Amino acid sequence: MQEDIPTVSLPSGVNVPALGLGTWMMGEESRSEPDEIASIRKAIDVGMTLIDTAEMYADGKSEEVVGKAIAGRRDQVFLVSKVYPWNADSKGTIDACDRSLERLGTDFIDLYLLHWRGPHALRETVAAFETLKQQGKIGEWGVSNFDTSDMEELFAVQGGGNCAVNQVLYNLSRRGPEYDLLPWCQRNRVPLMAYSPIEQGRILRNAELIRIAKAYQATPAQIALAFLLERDGVIAIPKSSHPQRVEENRGAAGLDISDEDWDALDAAFPPPAKKMPLEML
Ligand code: NDP
């Protein structure tokens, strides 16, 4: 029996699994589509029911792949998509959302994010998100790639405090958010969604990570994900187009890492000693 995936509460009270699936690079090549669809369906089967996509990914084709994968299973999925910053004005946000809904084959996106800060005033984007909520096209909205000062600015805008999530680059080798962004989000009850949670595979060859993984009969990816699951209010969205890797990543939930090994991970991947500007991929 596998351990349950922990859940994270969004400000609205909706609970989402702390482990979901990313889909960047899906939809790029049609010959990969069967594997991508199988991976998304595997994620749903094993409880990683939060699926993250964006209008940017493969120019909308990622959303189309997600749409095919969740057809007939929409009610089992917590769907996240994102609007391009240059589309995020009053009308552009609504139009972009309509296009995403069409590609996703649904009439509802659970969580709609501003992909990163762009040319439009935050109050305009927030107002458009609130309109989408009233229209019943989205459940909640959030942001991505927002550092602490951006979050403060957002919260000063009318309705800005309704932000449900901030999705940022956060993993063992990118611990900058721990200095002040993660504590800020925890204090203000805005879950942090960690993207590139295994650093796109680059950290998996780290010798210390490999050593610790072996000690738990686990894999380096599982330990890297367990590190994120250990933190309050953090959601990790590893991407894989291989169903067996999705299953492997699912195994991160329930790993019971000792204090000594957390210390060893801190030594190998030191937490920040000072403010570091938020990194982006
Ligand atoms: P990840 O850290 O999730 O790594 C994905 C890569 O790791 C893929 O190449 C995948 O290969 C490989 N991989 C997955 N699982 C394993 C495993 N168990 N063992 C070995 N390799 C593995 O990087 P992403 O950048 O994709 O980030 C995750 C998601 O976050 C994205 O897909 C996207 O949804 C979101 N994101 C958001 C951004 C933003 O600006 N808001 C920016 C970047 C990402 P394979 O598929 O072949 O298995």
199-220 pLDDT, tens digit per residue, is 999 999 999 999 999 999 999 9
The answer, yes or no, to whether residue 148 has pLDDT greater than 90, is yes
**Protein residue with least CA distance to atom 23, ligand 1:** 196
pLDDT at position 2 is 80
Closest protein CA for atom 46 of ligand 1? 240
Cα–Cα dist 122/136, whole Å? 21
**Ligand 1 mean position, distance from CA 70 (Å):** 19
**Residue 1 — very low, low, confident or very high, per pLDDT cuts 50/70/90?**
low
CATH of 7-268, picked from 3.90.420.10, 3.40.50.80, 1.10.150.120, 3.20.20.100, is 3.20.20.100
Residue 175 has pLDDT above 80, yes or no: yes
Ligand 1 pocket, residues with Cβ under 6 angstroms: 22-24, 52, 115, 144-145, 167, 195-201, 204, 221, 237-242, 245, 248-249, 281
Ramachandran bin of 155, using left for φ above 0, alpha for ψ from -120 to 50, beta for the remaining angles:
alpha
Is pLDDT above 90 for 58? Answer: yes
Whether pTM exceeds 0.95 = yes
Residue of 21, 65, 81, 240 to mutate, ligand 1, most atoms within 8 A of C-beta: 240
- The pLDDT of residue 76: 98
> What's the 200 CA to ligand 1 centre distance in angstroms?
5
Decide if 84 is catalytic. Answer: no
Residue 129: pLDDT band by 50, 70, 90 thresholds? very high
How far is the centre of ligand 1, averaged over its atoms, from the C-alpha of 197 (Å)? Answer: 7
Query: What distance in angstroms lies between residue 33's CA and the mean position of ligand 1's atoms?
Result: 16
